């Protein structure tokens, strides 16, 4: 993970070298499920724009570069000119970041974010409820607990808002660590306000726990740097005879290479996905040299917030018959973004292609239908399926 002395300018070496299948956002780690019932405050996605008139990827990149260059020649803002082109292009995942915002974007992929350390979901009646707080974070130190109702953020009511908008308010649209945010809360009929200072927090992208029957659950929140290797380590260290429940619910994606490394924990080589970049076909493969465990019973748990690189991994394990998938249909983001540096240090993230599962299925706009569809008590059902595969649960 990069230290605090990282250069604020987006790193040019990233361009063309590392694919990011991300739910393009200010920080790219907010979870979305179905009608957006769950998220954490580590990111806020752009609202999707109609893609019916979407221009070819190569044309979009050329148009953005041309607009930025013309703006510089005219003494205008190249990032503003580029943002206008992206807005008109129909690229629903395209975005333009200033240098500070893009540094935060990269921090998110490094497993860091600025916020207060809480997760929330929207209930059936439109209210917003805290589902988890990060130990040691500002929310936890203030005594906020899972189950608390979040009523307002800086005086703005959050009921009926998409959780992605709630995320944006919590983050403060790029607010720095140390900035204040006031949360209006309710618990057991009592209402109160908490003034918190946002902080730079570190995420736990991969957490491992033991299920009651002795099987292992590996929860992957996002595919940040190093997460693929942590998944492989967790599989290697699982007790002999234990099955694995791979929980990808609410995983909004991240780095494709990390998802491929995670696949290598379960697949002894072979195809993970194919994708195109500017019309050129490429492929991702599992690494056969890392001693994959191809025999442990495996269930993958997904929902409407499983996106992007997480869908890539889900599709690979499902298509190749390595896992049984359980849950609800995934989000359906199968597009590839790559960054382009602009003259003022800003960065344009543009969609350059799409990926397909090993069986050739397109995920974009469709999602993945689980082998065992279930919406209520999904984890309990997943544990039952895992037991039937030979796990201990």
> For the CA atoms of the chain, what is the radius of gyration?
21
Our CA dihedral for 18, 25, 314, 263, rounded to 10 degrees, sits at 30
Structure tokens at 326: 């359980």
Which residue is associated with the tokens 């076909």?
281
CA distance 148 to 142: 12
334: phi then psi, degrees, rounded to nearest 5 = -120, 40
CA distance 372 to 136: 37
CA distance 140 to 150: 14
Sign of CA dihedral 305, 310, 315, 321: negative
Cβ contact 348:64 at 8 Å: yes
CA distance 151 to 62: 45
Which residues does the annotation mark as catalytic?
308, 333
Q: Furthest-apart CA pair in the chain: how many Å? A: 68
Q: Is 321 exposed, middle or buried (0-12, 13-18, 19+ CB in 10 A)?
A: exposed
**What is the DSSP secondary-structure string of 238-303?**
SPTT--EEEE-TT--EEEHHHHHHHHTTT-SSSEEEEEEETTEEEEEE--GGG----SS-EEEEE-
Sign of CA dihedral 355, 359, 365, 369: negative
**What is the DSSP secondary-structure string of 304-351?**
TT--THHHHHHHHHHHTTS-EEEES------EEEEEEE-TTS-EEEEE
Residues constituting the chain: 393
Distance of CA 181 to the CA centre of its chain: 24
């Amino acid at each position: 993970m990069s230290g605090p002395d990282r250069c604020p300018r987006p790193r040019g070496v990233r361009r063309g070298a590392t694919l990011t299948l991300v739910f393009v956002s200010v920080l790219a780690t907010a979870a979305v499920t179905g009608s957006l019932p769950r998220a954490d405050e580590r990111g806020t996605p752009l609202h999707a724009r109609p893609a019916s008139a979407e221009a070819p990827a190569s044309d979009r990149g050329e148009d953005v570069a041309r607009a930025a260059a013309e703006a510089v020649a005219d003494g205008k803002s190249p990032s503003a000119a580029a943002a206008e082109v992206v807005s008109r292009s129909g690229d629903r995942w395209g975005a333009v970041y200033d240098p500070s915002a893009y540094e935060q974007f990269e921090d998110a992929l490094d497993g860091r974010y600025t916020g207060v350390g809480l997760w929330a979901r929207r209930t059936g009646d439109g209210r917003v409820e805290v589902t988890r707080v990060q130990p040691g974070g500002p929310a936890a130190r203030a005594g906020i607990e899972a189950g608390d109702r979040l009523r307002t953020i800086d005086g703005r009511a959050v009921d009926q808002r998409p959780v992605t908008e709630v995320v944006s308010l919590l983050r403060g649209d790029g607010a720095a660590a140390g900035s204040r945010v006031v949360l209006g809360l309710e618990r057991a009929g009592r209402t109160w306000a908490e003034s918190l200072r946002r902080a730079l927090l570190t995420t736990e992208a991969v957490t491992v726990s033991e299920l009651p029957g002795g099987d292992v659950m590996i929860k992957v929140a996002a595919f940040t740097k190093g997460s693929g290797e942590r998944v492989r380590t967790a599989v290697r260290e699982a007790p002999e005879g234990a099955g694995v429940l791979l929980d990808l619910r609410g995983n909004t994606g991240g780095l494709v290479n990390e998802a491929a490394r995670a696949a290598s924990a379960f697949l002894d080589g072979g195809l993970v996905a194919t994708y195109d970049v500017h019309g050129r076909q490429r492929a991702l493969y599992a690494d056969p040299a890392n001693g994959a465990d191809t025999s442990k019973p495996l269930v993958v748990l997904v929902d409407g917030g499983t996106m992007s690189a997480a869908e890539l991994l889900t599709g690979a394990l499902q298509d190749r018959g390595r896992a049984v998938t359980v849950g609800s249909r995934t989000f359906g983001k199968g597009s590839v973004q790559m960054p382009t540096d602009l003259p003022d240090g800003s960065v344009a993230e543009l969609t350059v292609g799409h990926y397909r599962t090993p069986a050739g299925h397109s995920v974009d706009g469709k999602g993945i239908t689980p082998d065992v569809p279930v919406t209520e008590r999904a984890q309990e059902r997943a544990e039952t399926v895992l037991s039937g595969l030979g796990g201990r649960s």
